[in-house]
Structure 1
Amino acid sequence: MDVADLAARASRDASGVPPELLDGYLEDLAEVSTTGVQLGPDRLRARHDVGARAAAQGVSLRGLVDLYLGATRLAWPVLPGVRRAAGAEAVRVVGEAVFRAADIAVTALAEGYEEAQRWAVRREESFRREFVDDLLDGRNLAELAERAERFGLRLAGSTVVAAVRAAGPIVDGGDVSRRVETALHLRLGSRDVLVTTKDGLLVCVAPEAMGEAPDEFVRQVAAAMGSDAAWRVGLGRPHPGPGGAVRSFEQARHALDIAERLDLPGPLHKAADLLVYRVLLRDSAALADLVGAVLEPLRRARGGAGPLLDTLDAYFASGRVATACARDLHVGVRTVTYRLQRVRELTGHSADDPRQGFALQVAVLGAKLLGWPATALPSPGKHQA
């Protein structure tokens, strides 16, 4: 039996799958055909290893199976056990042994191949997770640009990051993240956008040049989440270089925090539009002093500070129009004017006076940002990020 010739012919029939991947298989069949003894653990381990090697070389599983089945077919007439068999019964016995050996050999090949594929996927996921963590935590910046190319992301220009926060954490590989990633790549026709998760948030990292990416991301999140789900998107500002992503991501998270504290309407909240609130929070001790000095007397009102604080918030939001404020609060206009009068009596500040009204408005914003009155104000000298 010319093993090399048989392997070469089987390779040609299998569209050029390397004949080296047979790696002793034909010799195993020859031995089984004469002894009838099936392949032992060592020989099956060899097939398992060949399957893993084929996966690493990029050979398809179908091509590998074609190689082995073709080799079995070509070898059958010249196997020593077949040539020596006398009579139909002897040929049948040899055939059962040989084809059973072929069956378990191909099974071992497939197991090795699939195990290698699973390991490659897990390793790729691990590399991706490590890259995402470094990218959004700002670690190993010197290596990020080179590593980013592996995931289709270019960090040479400016990068913008959007982050979604939902009622529950969004997990990597979950239904929402998969649907958004697939749809976004199809819509944009580009792999330059990275969709991933971080700390329970769904995150989109895109080049600033792809100006349509954030809006398309929001549309796909809405489609994946459904109309009943509660979620918000924070959008950071674009920043250049490998460190730009972490800066934009932090801004997106701050935008989410501010939007939740102020209960801002709409799904998309841009960091560029919320800079004034970040300025207020930058000196939270001074902000707490203002809230305490201006609004603390509201606690003495019947029903506490809450209704009066809500009225002030709605009054300023409506452009200081009492009828619009009453409509938003679902109360009468007289209720609004009464509450505003109580605010003036308790605090000494009138919502309609330009200077006093400005102090009231900033204090109301500060109260919402600091969670007052439900949360105690920070102690003097204690800053809050």
Structure 2
Amino acid sequence: MAKVSSATLASLDRASGKIASLALSSMDEQFAWFGRMPADQRASVQLIAQTGAAGFTAYVRDQREAIRLTADAFRQAPRELSRWISLRQTVELVRVALQVIEREVPDLAADTDERHFLTEAVLRYGREVAFTSAMSYASAAETRGAWDARLEATVVDAIVRGDAEESLLSRAAALGWDPDAPATVLVGKSPSDDPPTVLYEVRSRAARTGRSVLLGVQGSRLVVVLAGDTEEPTNQVLRRMSTSFGEGPVVAGPTVPTIADAHRSAADALSGLRAVVAWPAAPRPVRSTDLLPERALAGDPEAERQLIEQIARPLEEAGGSLLDTVETYLEAGGVLETCARLLFVHPNTVRYRLRRVAEVTGHNPNLARDALVLRIALAVGRLSRSRGLW
């Protein structure tokens, strides 16, 4: 490449301050938002413009060091500006500065050859500046992404541990979570050993369902905190999200009012995940409330409490011999006529009482799964009463 004279280089050095001032004036004229920036931010832009103008002279002296020189000249620009303005605005500022350099620099050339050389140098310099700015913004975005990932992992870990501190809410809010949104925790096996890939896939699927999520990969376990109500009968959202997990069961805890209560959903979901092995035919995903018998058998006191509160106690308080009828019916193997003979009542009376049992508990004794739930609930109730806990 051609070389410029020492006189031209000296002129470039002397003109760098003027070029920086003209660039700032042009920014003020073209962008109203630039004039509204605080003084300290404008001072940072001014320093960047001066460094960039001086960097062009260094670039002209040694094109072989172009990448290093432009990186040094603009390294601080995006890091500082990214806190205050967007990448698009930064590109606009760089464009204006380069327009000023392109307009002013050729007049400093000693002859026509140097003028052509400086004009081409401005274009090359602008290309290097653009790449450097984009790379710096990408680096800043990666840094923020890594920080957000660590913060998100901390929030999910706190939910799993059962922490309901105020700091949990503020951290979740910093990640864009609506503090008033209902939350449901899903747990299962991670589909991959590469956490970034897992997080990307789950986020993509959540975005397609229009839901916010918080994610945590804990060894081979994937924990997903899903925003919004998931108590609809069809559970379409839960079914779609369950495809994000690896092989094996996926358990969803109950939907709680806010993320401050998400630890309860997580505790139930994890309890269900430990106990679901006892129900090989469990659907995917399965609600932790549908695993109350297995959880109770595994020694979960919360499951025992729910079985008593939802089934055993309501049956006892309902009266009308409902408790005796359902116990006899279950002991008779679900044979209606045998149950009626043992109770000395008409089979239609048994039918009526069983319908009332279904209304009171939500479980139909005629269905095999519901019969198991009722049997375990009644057994848990008797054990609790024998220990004086009920």
Read off the aligned partner of 2:196 and give its amino acid letter.
G
Cα distance in 2, alignment partners of residues 136 and 273 from structure 1: 20
CA deviations on 1:163-204 (whole Å, 9 max, x unpaired) are 2336x55754325x53443333443x453x435444433333
Cα gap change, 1:12 to 1:201, in 2 (>3 Å): farther
> Residues of 2 paired with 1:135 and 1:260: CA distance?
24
Q: How does 1:59-98 map to 2 (within 5 A)?
A: 59-60=86-87, 62-79=88-105, 82-98=106-122
Match of 1:123 among 143, 147, 156: 147
| Corresponding position of 2:262 | 245
Counterparts of 1:213 and 1:4 in 2: how far apart (Å)? 66
2:75 pairs with 1:48: yes
Extract unaligned runs of 5+ from structure 1. Answer: 285-315, 322-357, 363-385
Q: CA deviation at 1:43?
A: 6.4
Hey, what does 1:151 align to over in structure 2? Answer: 175
- 2:200 corresponds in structure 1 to 178
* Residue 264 (1) aligns with residue 307 (2): no
Checking the alignment, whether the CA contact within 8 Å between 1:162 and 1:205 is kept in structure 2 is yes
Query: What is the TM-score normalised by the length of structure 1?
Result: 0.58
SS of 1:24's equivalent in the other structure is: helix
Alpha-carbon distance, 1:69 to partner: 3.2
SS at match of 1:232: coil
Q: Distance in 1 between matches of 2:171 and 2:188?
A: 25
Deviations 1:34-54 (A, max 9, x none): x74557857632311112222
- Whether the 8 Å CA contact 1:163–1:203 is kept in 2: the answer is yes
Aligned counterparts of 1:78 and 1:144: Cα–Cα separation in 2: 55
How do 1:89-238 and structure 2 match up within 5 A? 89-139=113-163, 141-154=165-178, 159-165=183-189, 172-175=195-198, 177-187=199-209, 189-191=210-212, 193-206=213-226, 209-212=229-232, 215-221=235-241, 230-238=247-255
Are 2:202 and 2:244, in contact at CA under 8 Å, matched by a contact in 1?
yes
Match of 2:175, SS? coil
For the 8 Å contact 2:215–2:222, the answer to whether it is kept is: yes
Cα distance in 2 for partners of 1:110, 1:52 equals 11
Change (3 A) 1:264 1:45: same
Query: Is residue 170–residue 197 contact of structure 1 (8 Å, CA) maintained in 2?
Result: no
TM-score, structure 2 length as denominator? 0.58
Change (3 A) 1:163 1:206: same
CA positional deviation for 1:276: 2.8
For this pair of structures, how many residues does the alignment match?
A: 281
User: Measured at CA, do residues 128 and 136 of structure 1 come closer, stay the same or move farther in structure 2, by a change above 3 Å?
Assistant: same
Residues 50 and 158 of structure 1, relative CA distance in 2, 3 Å threshold? closer
State the secondary structure of the residue aligned to 1:91.
helix
Distance 2:300 2:133 in 1: 65
Q: 1:114 to 1:253 in 2, by over 3 A?
A: same
1: CA distance between counterparts of 2:52 and 2:181?
56
TM-fit CA distance, 1:132: 1.5
Quick one: distance in 2 between partners of 1:162 and 1:127? 19
